[in-house]
Structure 1
Amino acid sequence: MGVFELRIGQQGEPSLVPPAEETPTGLYYLSNLDQNIAVIVQTVYCFRPAADGGGRSACDVLRESLAKVLVHYYPLAGRLTISGEGKLVVDCTGEGAVFVEAEADCAMADIGDVTEPDPSVLGKLVYSVPGAKNILEMPLLSAQVTKFKCGGFVLGLAINHCMFDGVGAMQFVNSWGETARGLPLSLPPVLDRAVLRARDPPKVDFPHHEFAQITDEADDDEDDGGVIGDSSPLLHRSFRFTPACIARVKALVALEGRACTTFEALAGFVWSARTRALGMGPSRRSKLLFAVDGRPRFSPPLPAGYFGNAIVLTSAACAAGELTASLPRAVRLVRGAVEAVTDAYMRSAVDYFETTRARPSLASTLLITAWSRLPFRAADFGWGPPAAYGPAALPEKEVALFLSCGEEGGGGVRVLLGLPAAAMAEFQRLVEEVTAA
């Protein structure tokens, strides 16, 4: 990808798809866990040419079923606004999700490997509001269906992360698919987010280092030749870690007690290798952020089908020199960050935002988002599972994304990230050191 230019030959005017039935109005509460991640997440699902569906086009099926599923997920048909408390809230206007039909002047195979997130190509498969200055001017959900000359099509979704996390998003997409196939919802959404309200009064019991700002002070006396401030364009690459590669990474880590998990091993390796590739000075602190699913960790656990964000950010930090010199050290820090996430910690995080309105800092930070366990292939709208899927772009330059390769792809995990050219070359070299047979 990159040298290929995707041309959209025809793009219809965006239309609104309101819920098929009357739905509740008024303001819909978003919890403090929803407030910190109000970014637009863009994903694409590629479907091969389908057999004749009784004369009904993919666009017709998807539009009609979207209207029906929005009856259950009616907040998605509203608009984001600011409450009197200065927080994000949804005004349930029932206006509807945005729906766009488009046609490409090529075959779907021509767009290449969608696991390589090239925004210049895949970005054309997802609708963006022209001239929108902030998230308040963007719909909570937009869907673009792009038809290709081969008969295949791509469903491109743009969803505001404040509405749900990855687990919730897949529940919605799968509910949409069930509706398109004429089935009842196997997991109706639980819309009430009051279970995650802050305590009164708020009670902050833990230090929340995920919000810590790392400054450049440590590098004032260093001329390390690093590329932290490199303003050159990012290269986006994906790296596949096969089960054998993951086993080799784990073999490099000798931890006390239980063996490290796949996430711990890969997160520690990617954090260490990226820090080294960026040329951070040895005394500069490098921070890792990643999300932990709180659904089973809350006490009591959140109900199945919980609609909102139930992820809590946890963090680790270390001097770059120490981090790059010891992979076991990096993995131990990752494990500690995972184990720190308890019910008490998550309640404290909710209350911390209530008292500070702080946003997590991304300075000198790697933010890992793990999608490797999300059931993307379950997105069946009547044409079977998607032939390919993935992000249209990474939401921030500091983000690395973990995706499952799937059993059909031989298993393992694919790591997507963006780095300046020099740093990407070094990162690739470090990956090849551990993945070479």
Structure 2
Amino acid sequence: MAETNNIPLTFTVRRRAPELIAPSEPTPRELKPLSDIDDQEVLRCHVMVIFFYRGHPKMRHKNPASVIREALAKLLVFYYPFAGRLKEGPFGKLVVDCSGEGVLFIEGEADGTLDQFGDAFYPPLPCMEELLYDVPGSSGILDSPLLLIQVTRLLCGGFIFAIRFNHTATDGAGLAHFLFGLSVIARGGTSPPFPPVWQRELLCSSNRPPMIFTRHEYDQLEDTKGTLIALEDMVHKSVFFTTTHISTLRRLVPIHLQSCSTFELLTACLWRCRTIALQRDPEDEMPVIWTVNARKMFNPPLPKGYYGNTLAFPIAISTARDLCTKPLGYALELVMKTKYNVTKEHIRSIYDLTSTTGWPHYTSIRTYLVTDLTGVGFDALDFGWGKPAYGGPARGAVGIIPTLTTPYAPYTNSKGECGILISFSLPSGVMDKFIKEINNMLEQGKINDVLMEHKSPTLSKL
């Protein structure tokens, strides 16, 4: 596994004054309610994503900030709600006032190059405050811009594109739709490849009888043992799992669970290693929650251009004792069974719940939250300079409770090895134990492989 080198950068960024980019043509002035999925308290936060681009010979005379600024104004004609502001309606319901005020845009110029990052184009990123300036007054949920974008040019001809989005307005897949449309227009297109669709009423409760499910992800527990960890006590690291590492871990999986996905395997592995490192009371329940993109679960399907939140938060729960003492297959089976039980009825029950009980927050006591961004396409976003050296979360912990969240992102290292980059936040001493447990599990996989080679009969090649 490769961890971040954590080398501090010394370059600084000269920024132009922040400006509001409005749609390039008139757009409708209207109020657009969010869906009951969008309205969840857990999504009332801002999330940052960042992209690193190398210089391209054909683009050496073009300013990426100018290209993206112009494309953004054109794209907002189609995505005009993003140029509005969130307001609170009756009973706390959030609505977008499509005012056309615009999104915040910053152009910056750095006195450094991409080479100064070494191989560490991933969280935790040094100088993050330089790469995405938090404009005063811009980070509220209500009456603030829904998007903040900074394009920073580098001396090497490359640039850094960073964006912060209000999570109530869209999710990772919806943002990817928006950014893909932006890249198409930046490369000379006149419109996004498929029209954006608002239609948030599709994910709002109706007068039908509510779906009844047991929803442990919203259980509100008391932190009687002081298990919540303050953000200032956390350290942040990223771990890169190559396809070889993942194959090594798979050797620890029982035969009847070999159909598991890479996401299920890594989540079970990290849930177990994290629990061992934290050394909790053996009777403590240790939940793991992950985000599920439910777009494909609806029948009839949601429109292709739908860019609202379609997230569910399935939860698997085990005691610390069982996670620490039982083999990996135990945790893996819990994850697989929980994931299998997420259905369109499960999703529907979320917006029934939010519409009847308010907008609950998932449980945060001893919780480990995972978000899988490997399939949204951030790693393929091309504004004309080619694919990014890295495209994904700007921080190793995101969301309304940043100490909990672990994002998965696709990554290719400097050796050309492909895999999954996973960013963590844990107390310093715990982080060291956590990394050690992961390495122990990888070593165990190698040993098991040797044993399997010795035990397997020799097969004829004929």
Determine the structure 1 residue equivalent to 2:91: 85
Runs (5+) with no aligned partner, structure 2: 447-462
Q: Which moved more, 1:418-427 or 1:227-236?
A: 227-236
CA contact (8 A) 1:297 1:343 kept: yes
Per the alignment, in what secondary structure is the counterpart of residue 81 of structure 1? strand
Determine the structure 2 residue equivalent to 1:363: 365
The correspondence of residues 129-278 of structure 1 with structure 2, limited to 5 A, is 129-130=135-136, 134-136=140-142, 138-183=144-189, 184-201=191-208, 203-217=210-224, 229=229, 233-254=233-254, 256=256, 259-278=259-278
1:202 to partner: Cα distance: 5.3
Determine the structure 1 residue equivalent to 2:307: 307
1:20 to partner: Cα distance: 0.7
> Is 2:34 the partner of 1:23?
no
* One-letter amino acid of the structure 1 residue matched with residue 65 of structure 2: C
Determine the structure 2 residue equivalent to 1:429: 436
Q: Name the CA distance, whole Å, in 2 between partners of 1:131 and 1:2.
A: 30
C-alpha deviations, 1:286-338, integer Å up to 9, x for none?
11111111111122221212111112111111111112222222111111221
Using a 3 Å threshold, how does the CA distance of structure 1 residues 40 and 182 change in structure 2: closer, same or farther? same
C-alpha deviations, 1:405-436, integer Å up to 9, x for none?
25984222221111111111011001111234
Per the alignment, in what secondary structure is the counterpart of residue 256 of structure 2? coil
Aligned length: 430
Determine the structure 2 residue equivalent to 1:283: 283
Q: Name the CA distance, whole Å, in 2 between partners of 1:315 and 1:405.
A: 27
TM (norm. structure 1) is 0.92
Per the alignment, in what secondary structure is the counterpart of residue 57 of structure 2? coil
C-alpha deviations, 1:90-113, integer Å up to 9, x for none?
111100011101122222221344
Determine the structure 1 residue equivalent to 2:381: 379
CA contact (8 A) 2:222 2:365 kept: yes
> Is 2:129 the partner of 1:128?
no
1:138 to partner: Cα distance: 3.6
Q: Name the CA distance, whole Å, in 2 between partners of 1:202 and 1:63.
A: 47
Q: Which moved more, 1:356-365 or 1:48-57?
A: 48-57
Q: Name the CA distance, whole Å, in 1 between partners of 2:154 and 2:280.
A: 45
Determine the structure 1 residue equivalent to 2:334: 333
1:83 to partner: Cα distance: 1.3
Q: Which moved more, 1:289-298 or 1:180-189?
A: 180-189
Per the alignment, in what secondary structure is the counterpart of residue 405 of structure 1? strand
1:158 to partner: Cα distance: 0.6
The correspondence of residues 38-49 of structure 1 with structure 2, limited to 5 A, is 38-49=44-55
TM (norm. structure 2) is 0.87
Q: CA RMSD in A?
A: 2.2
> Is 2:10 the partner of 1:10?
no
Q: Name the CA distance, whole Å, in 1 between partners of 2:130 and 2:392.
A: 14
Per the alignment, in what secondary structure is the counterpart of residue 43 of structure 1? strand
Q: Name the CA distance, whole Å, in 1 between partners of 2:431 and 2:366.
A: 16
CA contact (8 A) 1:198 1:351 kept: yes
Q: Which moved more, 1:33-42 or 1:47-56?
A: 47-56
Per the alignment, in what secondary structure is the counterpart of residue 195 of structure 2? coil
Runs (5+) with no aligned partner, structure 1: 221-226
1:340 to partner: Cα distance: 1.4
Q: Name the CA distance, whole Å, in 1 between partners of 2:258 and 2:113.
A: 49
Per the alignment, in what secondary structure is the counterpart of residue 110 of structure 1? helix
Q: Name the CA distance, whole Å, in 1 between partners of 2:110 and 2:260.
A: 45
Q: Name the CA distance, whole Å, in 2 between partners of 1:386 and 1:133.
A: 26
Determine the structure 1 residue equivalent to 2:350: 349
Using a 3 Å threshold, how does the CA distance of structure 1 residues 115 and 209 change in structure 2: closer, same or farther? farther
C-alpha deviations, 1:65-124, integer Å up to 9, x for none?
000011111111011121112022211110001110112222222134444412542342
Percent pairwise identity = 34
1:200 to partner: Cα distance: 1.4
Using a 3 Å threshold, how does the CA distance of structure 1 residues 283 and 433 change in structure 2: closer, same or farther? same
Determine the structure 2 residue equivalent to 1:224: none
1:391 to partner: Cα distance: 1.9
Determine the structure 1 residue equivalent to 2:408: 402
CA contact (8 A) 2:138 2:144 kept: yes
* One-letter amino acid of the structure 2 residue matched with residue 105 of structure 1: D
Q: Name the CA distance, whole Å, in 1 between partners of 2:60 and 2:420.
A: 39
CA contact (8 A) 2:280 2:320 kept: yes
Per the alignment, in what secondary structure is the counterpart of residue 315 of structure 2? strand
* One-letter amino acid of the structure 1 residue matched with residue 24 of structure 2: A
CA contact (8 A) 2:194 2:305 kept: yes
CA contact (8 A) 2:50 2:161 kept: yes
Q: Name the CA distance, whole Å, in 1 between partners of 2:104 and 2:32.
A: 19
CA contact (8 A) 1:2 1:121 kept: no
Per the alignment, in what secondary structure is the counterpart of residue 415 of structure 1? strand
